[in-house]
Chain A
Amino acid sequence: MIAQILFIIILAAAIYLFSKNVGKIRRNILLGRPADRSDNPALRWKTMAKIALGQTKMVKRPLAAVMHFFIYVGFIIINLEVMEIMIDGIFGSHRIFSKPLGGLYDLLIGGFEFLAILVLTACVVFLCRRNIVRLKRFSGTEMTEWPKSDANYILIIEILLMTAFLTMNAADHKLQLLNFGHYIKAGSFPVSSLLNPLLPDSAAGLELIERGCWWFHIIGILAFLNYLPYSKHFHILLAFPNTYYSNLHPKGEFTNMASVTGEVKAMLDPSFVPETTGEPQRFGAKDVTDLTWKNLMEAYTCTECGRCTSVCPANITGKLLSPRKIMMDTRDRITEVGNNIDKHGKDYTDDKTLLDNYITREELWACTTCNACVEACPVNINPLEIITELRRYAVMEESQAPASINNMFGNVENNGAPWKYSAADRFNWADAGIDK
């Protein structure tokens, strides 16, 4: 009875804390500017099913895809077992699904065990890739101590959870064989039975191990749940809405700024009166709140895998730009803005901005807008949109483009071409004759 009450308290506290932190992230995301992504729900569901659920963009790197798939499927399916553990915890029952499910239960538990060992293996492989093989993709200027530790913590926690799960099953199995107490014969244990020789033979010792692992496993899961909002691992949740709200236009298409259209029309036709919509907004983005909520959602979705940076032509050739850093900077800055609001109230502003305090001009101007980063992201994050918005601010609000870019602007404006040629010479190419 005491165990049940304790369990319910821990569960309630974990859920409360988690919802509170998720609420904060939601609030932070909604600090962004509006963007309409409500069109074409059928295609959106399809995109989400394909890219988040089906993980179709992962297959480009087969080993990572297979390993990740193990962890992903393991995570989702082992959750069925977690459901049973929750119910047992609340009602003080033991393996409550075993009776109603009968033979299917054995099959399920056996299946979970295979998944658990696959997850465990995948986590070990991932740890090796990060810490022993040291794949280039997992390093870079933005991969400082915290992002690196974060990745390792996630893998270690998962290994611990799976180990506890298998040890718990092994002890349970042994107790079942002893016909001890309420340990009814339930489940099959193809993997964990290999651990049997390592466990004690006394019922008391086994029960201690079984209960210990049970508590460690479930408290571990609840703690992990509460780690998510602080971690890159949050992608397991946001990958779904983030792909649902994907950009459905061709990647080459950049947004046309409606605020500019009004002004340009007024310039070309003096009788045109642009619609005024309240407070005039900044052109482009200086800080994170000038970005759209979708940009901010993407920042929280990023799991720092570095596929974007590894295909970025600027980064490959040694430039400072790293698309992953753009996303991480955006996330860190919006989190900082959110924390400021919590501490100092809604209207507080510090002296920092995304541009300059986080992302430098040098990074900004190294981008070739080639869309390789956008293509590479397994969850459809678009770092290019943020880069473009920052450029728009630098150019239209500050007139701070590199001198040669300003020359190009001048040429387009005066000659209708990015080079210094006269518009009158535009047709000279035909002078050489076509039919020669």
Chain B
Amino acid sequence: MAEMAAEGKQPEILFWVGCAGSFDERAQRITRDICKILNHVGISFAVLGTEESCTGDPAKRAGNEFLFQMQAMANIQVLDAYEVKKIVTGCPHCFNTIKNEYPGLGGNYEVIHHSQLIQQLIDEGKLKAEGGESFKGKKITYHDPCYLGRGNNVYEAPRKALEILDADLVEMKRCKSNGLCCGAGGGQMFKEPEKGNKDINVERMADILESKATVVAAACPFCMTMLRDGVKHENKEQEIQVLDIAEITVRANGL
């Protein structure tokens, strides 16, 4: 973003990468795939790079409002300095925080999740599912991230991105507004779970196994980690792939 600004250019959209997308090795691949999609359709975009910082979401959910607002205000300063108007992000937590909680602190942007971007591109005919891997007939199920689904009522966009594949889409028993959490939210990602009789991602695995899907579509880097751990726990790594919506789109288009 700094480079573009120095050249006096204003990108169409800012890609907010998020901490997981920046540092988590698995999520970095999703980040690169989102970039590939943006490049493929010719949308000019920028990232903040080292000027980006945590949105403050995990701090806020864990009760540290101070830390959240410190992060939020610092981020708003950076975003406003670059006169950012529109943001796309690959993380439902960043999406929710910037979209819903930044306005109250003076940060007003149009924020979309990458699944919504993909849906728009499909609707506009700019993205298809050709020239790459065929998902035809494959059993795919979609896991709703809490902060995209229940949190913000985005249920259809990610499903649209899958419908174009001509695959065998199956829903899990608990889906959409009844979707079961992967177990990472509310700060759980960063701590051991409380005492119980099983982990939440293992509970979710039962739904996945029951659906008989061979591909689990995710739309959140934290769900990605949890679901992959769940697949490992069941020793199903050979049979079940967990892929982000962006990765599936990239593969289907051979990008």
- Residues of chain A touching chain B, judged by Cβ–Cβ distance below 8 Å, are 60, 249-254, 256-257, 260-261, 263-265, 267-268, 283-284, 311, 313-314, 316-321, 362, 365-372, 374-375, 388, 390-396, 401-402, 404-405, 407-409, 412-413, 416-419, 421, 423-430, 432-435
Contact = CB atoms under 8 A, between A and B. Distances in A.
Contacts, number: 222
Interface string B101-145: 100110000000000000000000000000000000000000000
A369 B186 contact: yes
Interface stretch (B81-89, B187-195, B211-219): B187-195
B39 interface: yes
Contact of A372 (B23, B59, B150, B192): B150
B185 A369 contact: yes
A318 B197 CA distance: 5
Interface string B46-62: 01011011101011111
Interface in B51-96: 52-54, 56, 58-67, 69-71, 73-74, 96
A409 B200 CA distance: 23
The CB with the most chain A CB atoms within 10 A, among B54, B71, B192, is that of B54
Given A251-B150, A369-B186, A319 B50 contact: no
B31 A429 contact: yes
B65 A392 contact: yes
B97 to A, nearest CB: 8
A201 to B, nearest CB: 57
The CB with the most chain B CB atoms within 10 A, among A249, A321, A388, is that of A388
Contact of B63 (A249, A252, A394, A435): A394
Contact of B191 (A252, A313, A405, A423): A405
Interface stretch (B176-184, B228-236, B237-245): B176-184
Nearest to A424: B50
B166 interface: no
A313 B203 contact: yes
Interface residues of B, number: 69
The CB with the most chain B CB atoms within 10 A, among A249, A423, A433, is that of A423
Given A254-B61, A261-B69, A429 B190 contact: no
Nearest to B32: A434
A429 B28 contact: yes
A405 B96 CA distance: 21
A318 B187 contact: no
Nearest to B199: A317
Contact of A260 (B35, B69, B146, B202): B69
A284 B194 CA distance: 22
Contacts of B147: 252
Contact of B186 (A261, A370, A401, A424): A370
B62 A417 contact: no
